[in-house]
Amino acid sequence: MRNNWDGIWLVARREFVDQFRDWRIIAPMIIMIGLFPFIADANTREAINFMNRYGGDLILERLVPFVVLVIGFFPLAFTLGVALEAFVGEKERGTIEPLLNSPLTDSQIYLGKLLVGIATPLIASYLSTGLYLALLLRRAVTFPSAYILLLILLLTFAHAVLMVSSAIIISVQATSIRAANLLASFVVMPVAFILQGETTLIFWGDEEVLWYAIVAVTLLSGLLVRLGLAHFRREYLLGREIDTLNLKRLARLFSDRFTGKAKGIFNWYREELPLTLAQLRTPLLIVITISAVAVFASYGWTIVQIPAYITITPERAEELRAYALSNASSLEMISSQLPAPVLFYHNARAILAIFLLGIASFGVLGLGLFLVNMGLVGGVLGAAKLIGFSPLLTFFAGVAPHGVFELTAFFLATAAMVKAGAQLVTPQTERSMGETLIVSIADWCRVFVGIVLPLLAVAAMIEIYATPYILKAAFGL
Amino acid sequence: MIEAYDLSKEFNGNFWAVEGVSLNVQAGQILALLGQNGAGKTTTVRMLNALLTPTRGWARVAGYDVIKNPQEVRSNVGVLTEQHGLYVRMTGDEYLDYFGRVYRLSAEKRKARAVYLLDYFGLTEAAKRRTGEYSKGMKQKLAMARALIHDPAVLLLDEPTSAMDPEASRLARDEIARLKSSQRTIIICTHNLVEAETLADHVAIIYRGKILLSGALDELKRQVLGAAEYEAKFAESYDAEALDLPAGVEIVARNATRLRFRIESPQTTNPSLVAALTSRGARVVSFYEVPRTLEQVYLRTMERAQETTYAE
């Protein structure tokens, strides 16, 4: 452990000292760190004058934490170059090979670079924030509370880790500094969007929610670090001079993985698909468990929290029940408004969205969207309970007939997505990051094409042509 | 010691940069790895230093398996890379101290090694200057010092004297020879065939990723260029017609005062040949082996390889 840390520190310290010996790095950094707080302070002064003339103390109170957050973000954006060129820069200068020839481990080199990549922007960011806060003391404005400041500093830290861990991955994968700089937009822009969301939370005044943002960003950063470590290989840094996109090879890799050794479609169903399904046991168990938790949590929340917002008297419940039953009595007409193919398309699209979000976030956001869907089921059952229907009867008559197929499809697709996300952040000695991505997509497509689509087709047919009758029969309509 | 068997490396699933390379370099030996640019020398060296994972085959370097114990391999190998790879904002002594730390040397050892190497390569006066200010040759010398900082058991040197002035090249060669005598195992990749001939005990010629030829230098000369040739120079015109040549001797060139012989076993035949010449009245001024260089071996081998490639 001590040796491990020594190696990380050795790499980080050299780089840290090295960048401070270059005036081309220091000068813009000092100018930016010094300049932004003064500009922000001038804007704050104008805002105070404006609010004093026209009112709006609440906005002013929220404006300062917002400015602190933004002041912290700017230095992160302009010092990102340090992380972006961590590997690819050394490669271009030819200094990487002696380092790779040394007995330092991959993780020591990677984490050393990550450490200095985080430290520099963070120091710049906190210095800038500190300077702005010092300037703010002169203004007649409510100073943000220590709690809010702590939250914002933690958010800045999470942003730094998120941006730098992404930038380091780019630096490892890119073949030139130019390419790395072009790819930097894919780091700065999403974080800028996240920042906008957090700004909304600050202006909304619900600071507690910011904790969720901190946890989510930190979790994502952790996964990015894991992804970077999993795919960091000395070999790639030396082996790739020019990256050519070999679409044919990628297509072959996909089709080889998708079809496996199958000789025909029946053989594929008999031999290949079971192999993929066998690998889904653990993710499936996880998905089913958390979806059960989501359904029960949502159900519980609905029956406890909704009455706090809407008063449901016995008369109102009766009224709602009658309304629901009158709607249900014409349910068999649904096929003319929502044909089965449209429902099938809608569900397939939802599953695709879950996968795309999942693959872009190593499973996290995809799982989030899936849980929202599961939460809706719990919410509907909770609402049924609130107006006097039996939730069990509602479930077995209104959800279960087509849900047997539809939920199974959702569970399997989500489990495959979780596996694909996990595969991406797992060290793959035989494959590059791009190859791992292709293989993960092919594995998911196997499940999607082979099982999920047929199940969704059956579910859509049942939901449109059978469920309305079962519901009507169950509720005596 | 370096052992490799069937060492092969494939890139992008369709290009074999190195294929079936087998080597055996004992402690106290130097192997010169020769070949054109892109022949696979650097890839071979990178596999031997556990920087690239072989696609096929195995290698043991300094007693460690390059696949199973990459860190141990790298700890025991000193590598001089094709590019000097210096951190230009560090001073010479900081640079050596940094790599001393990387190789986990104690503070005393780091200092002692840095002082010795800086002094040996004549860099003491420049030790406090940033390496970015060094000349090309000085950078190469510092890179060489870096490769030697941890006094490694195995050295892999890619063009060790390129960019060095003649004096520095001599120093580098002397240091390599000294390391050889202290039982280090050394592989040199070079285009400088004179240097390879001076330093190496064994030579391997690599072409398109495959070893075409390998062995002790004398063996290779014999194998590629044929039996040794000796030349006799006479004080006056000499007619060799009446000369009774011993078995295994053939005259390959002649003029009035010179005769050139191809001799299968010089060790046993030369005494009787010289005796035959003098007994037949030849006034021999000198009798010497016609020098045959590694360059001839290399060029002949490459010529044949290219002919084979074109024929295919």
User: Quick check: A250 contacting B, CB < 8 Å?
Assistant: no
| AA letter at B140 | Q
User: Quick check: B46 contacting A, CB < 8 Å?
Assistant: yes
A4: pLDDT confidence band, cut at 50, 70 and 90?
confident
Rounded mean pLDDT, A6-18: 91
**Inter-chain CB proximity B81 and A103 less than 8 Å:** no
- Per-residue pLDDT for B306 more than 90? no
pLDDT value, residue A1:
60
Q: Is residue B273 part of a domain?
A: yes
- Per-residue pLDDT for B65 more than 90? yes
A174: pLDDT confidence band, cut at 50, 70 and 90?
confident
Rounded mean pLDDT, B289-295: 89
- Cα–Cα distances in angstroms (integers) from residue A113 to residues A41, A217, A387, B127, B173, in the given order: 34, 20, 59, 27, 36
Among chain A residues, the shortest Cα distance to B90 is held by: A18
**Inter-chain CB proximity B79 and A98 less than 8 Å:** yes
**Inter-chain CB proximity A98 and B85 less than 8 Å:** yes
Same domain, B249 and B108: no
Helix (H) or strand (E) holding B34, with range, is strand B30-35
Same domain, B60 and B196: yes
**Inter-chain CB proximity A234 and B51 less than 8 Å:** yes
* Number of domains observed in the structure of chain B: 2
- Per-residue pLDDT for B310 more than 80? no
* Residue ranges in chain B assigned as alpha helix (H): 41-48, 70-75, 92-102, 107-120, 136-148, 166-181, 193-199, 217-225, 266-279, 294-311
For residue A99, the distance in angstroms to the closest alpha carbon of chain B comes to 9
Six-digit token string for A122? 């963070």
Whether residue B40 contacts residue B196, with contact meaning beta carbons closer than 8 Å, is answered with: no
- Per-residue pLDDT for A370 more than 60? yes
For residue A14, the distance in angstroms to the closest alpha carbon of chain B comes to 8
C-alpha–C-alpha distance, residues B152 and B195, integer Å: 22
A106: number of Cβ within 10 Å: 15
The predicted-structure confidence for A442-470, as pLDDT tens digits, reads as follows: 999 999 999 999 999 999 999 988 888 88
* Bridge pairing between strands B210-216 and B202-207: antiparallel
C-alpha–C-alpha distance, residues B220 and B213, integer Å: 8
Q: Is B76 helix (H, G, I), strand (E, B) or coil?
A: coil
**Inter-chain CB proximity B81 and A98 less than 8 Å:** yes
- Residue where the block lists tokens 């509720």: A475
Same domain, B212 and B248: no
Six-digit token string for B45? 């060296």
- Cα–Cα distances in angstroms (integers) from residue B298 to residues A73, B35, B311, in the given order: 61, 8, 20
The predicted-structure confidence for B93-104, as pLDDT tens digits, reads as follows: 999 999 999 999
B108/A368: higher pLDDT: B108
User: Quick check: B68 contacting A, CB < 8 Å?
Assistant: no
CATH classification at residue B236: 3.30.70
C-alpha–C-alpha distance, residues A444 and A415, integer Å: 9
User: Quick check: B74 contacting A, CB < 8 Å?
Assistant: yes
Whether residue A68 contacts residue A129, with contact meaning beta carbons closer than 8 Å, is answered with: yes
* Closest-CA residue to B161 (of B191, B126, B125): B191
Which range of A198-207, A326-335, B225-234 scores highest in mean pLDDT? It is: B225-234
Whether residue A370 contacts residue A418, with contact meaning beta carbons closer than 8 Å, is answered with: no
Q: Is A415 helix (H, G, I), strand (E, B) or coil?
A: helix
A2: pLDDT confidence band, cut at 50, 70 and 90?
low
The predicted-structure confidence for A224-255, as pLDDT tens digits, reads as follows: 888 888 878 887 777 655 456 677 888 888 99
Which range of A59-63, A194-198, B252-256 scores highest in mean pLDDT? It is: B252-256
- Residue where the block lists tokens 């696949």: B67
The predicted-structure confidence for A399-414, as pLDDT tens digits, reads as follows: 899 999 999 999 999 9
Whether residue B287 contacts residue B232, with contact meaning beta carbons closer than 8 Å, is answered with: yes
In a mutational test of the B interface, the residue from A4, A102, A242 whose CB has the highest number of chain B CBs within 10 Å is A102
Separation of CA A48 from chain center: 37
Write out the residue range of the structural domain in which residue B243 sits.
Answer: 226-289
Provide the CB-side half-sphere exposure for A307 (13 A, CA). 13
Mean model confidence pLDDT for chain B: 90
**Inter-chain CB proximity B51 and A94 less than 8 Å:** no
Same domain, B75 and B178: yes
Q: Which of B181, B202, B221 is the last residue of a domain?
A: B221
In a mutational test of the A interface, the residue from B95, B98, B154 whose CB has the highest number of chain A CBs within 10 Å is B98
Among chain A residues, the shortest Cα distance to B72 is held by: A103
Six-digit token string for B80? 């001089």
- CB-nearest to B13 from A14, A18, A249 is A249
pLDDT value, residue B134:
92
Helix (H) or strand (E) holding A180, with range, is helix A177-183
Q: Is residue B294 part of a domain?
A: no
Show residues of chain B in contact with A101, CB under 8 Å.
Answer: 49, 51, 74, 77, 79, 81
| Distance between first and last Cα of chain B | 37
For residue B74, the distance in angstroms to the closest alpha carbon of chain A comes to 5
Percent of chain A residues topping a pLDDT of 70:
96
Among chain A residues, the shortest Cα distance to B85 is held by: A95
User: Quick check: B13 contacting A, CB < 8 Å?
Assistant: yes
Q: Bridge partners of A261?
A: none
Helix (H) or strand (E) holding A398, with range, is none
C-alpha–C-alpha distance, residues A77 and A191, integer Å: 9
C-alpha–C-alpha distance, residues A254 and A443, integer Å: 9
- Per-residue pLDDT for A398 more than 90? no
Q: Is residue B304 part of a domain?
A: no
Whether residue B287 contacts residue B230, with contact meaning beta carbons closer than 8 Å, is answered with: yes
C-alpha–C-alpha distance, residues B276 and B248, integer Å: 14
C-alpha–C-alpha distance, residues B220 and B202, integer Å: 9
Q: What is the dihedral of CA A131, A137, A138, A139, to 10 degrees?
A: 110
- Residue where the block lists tokens 């191809």: B262
- CB contact residues (below 8 A), chain A span 11-70, against chain B: 14, 18, 21-22
pLDDT value, residue A241:
55
Same domain, B29 and B171: yes
C-alpha–C-alpha distance, residues A160 and A80, integer Å: 9
Same domain, B198 and B74: yes
pLDDT value, residue A428:
65
B34: number of Cβ within 10 Å: 28
B281/A278: higher pLDDT: A278
pLDDT value, residue A313:
84
Rounded mean pLDDT, B97-120: 94
Q: What is the dihedral of CA A408, A409, A410, A414, to 10 degrees?
A: 100
**Inter-chain CB proximity A103 and B103 less than 8 Å:** yes
**Inter-chain CB proximity B87 and A95 less than 8 Å:** yes
- Per-residue pLDDT for A322 more than 70? yes
pLDDT value, residue B95:
96
pLDDT value, residue A131:
93
User: Quick check: A10 contacting B, CB < 8 Å?
Assistant: yes
pLDDT value, residue A243:
58
Q: Is residue B270 part of a domain?
A: yes
Same domain, B196 and B242: no
B162/B142: higher pLDDT: B142
* Closest-CA residue to A207 (of A195, A199, A216, A196): A199
The predicted-structure confidence for A289-303, as pLDDT tens digits, reads as follows: 999 999 999 999 998
| Distance between first and last Cα of chain A | 70
CATH classification at residue B123: 3.40.50.300
Separation of CA B135 from chain center: 25
Same domain, B155 and B263: no
Same domain, B55 and B197: yes
Show residues of chain B in contact with A249, CB under 8 Å.
Answer: 12-13
Rounded mean pLDDT, B240-266: 86
Radius of gyration from C-alpha coordinates of chain A: 28
User: Quick check: B173 contacting A, CB < 8 Å?
Assistant: no
User: Quick check: B113 contacting A, CB < 8 Å?
Assistant: no
Predicted complex: ipTM over 0.90: no
C-alpha–C-alpha distance, residues B143 and B158, integer Å: 11
Chain A / chain B CB contacts < 8 angstroms: 69
Same domain, B216 and B276: no
Residues found in chain B:
312
Q: Is A233 helix (H, G, I), strand (E, B) or coil?
A: coil
Mean model confidence pLDDT for chain A: 86
- Cα–Cα distances in angstroms (integers) from residue A180 to residues A84, A121, A152, B141, in the given order: 6, 18, 29, 33
pLDDT value, residue A180:
84
Same domain, B254 and B178: no
**Inter-chain CB proximity A103 and B83 less than 8 Å:** no
Whether residue A115 contacts residue A8, with contact meaning beta carbons closer than 8 Å, is answered with: yes
Instruction: Tell the burial category of A408 from Cβ atoms under 10 Å away from its Cβ (0-12, 13-18, 19+).
Output: middle
- Cα–Cα distances in angstroms (integers) from residue A83 to residues A9, A102, A106, A424, in the given order: 16, 21, 17, 22
**Inter-chain CB proximity A238 and B79 less than 8 Å:** no
- Per-residue pLDDT for A427 more than 70? no
* Closest-CA residue to B199 (of B235, B170, B229): B170
Whether residue B86 contacts residue B139, with contact meaning beta carbons closer than 8 Å, is answered with: yes
Helix (H) or strand (E) holding A215, with range, is helix A207-230
B69: pLDDT confidence band, cut at 50, 70 and 90?
very high
Show residues of chain B in contact with A93, CB under 8 Å.
Answer: 85, 88
Q: Is residue B182 part of a domain?
A: yes
* Residue ranges in A260-396 assigned as alpha helix (H): 265-267, 273-278, 281-309, 314-329, 334-337, 340-360, 364-386, 391-394
Show residues of chain A in contact with B16, CB under 8 Å.
Answer: none
Same domain, B213 and B112: yes
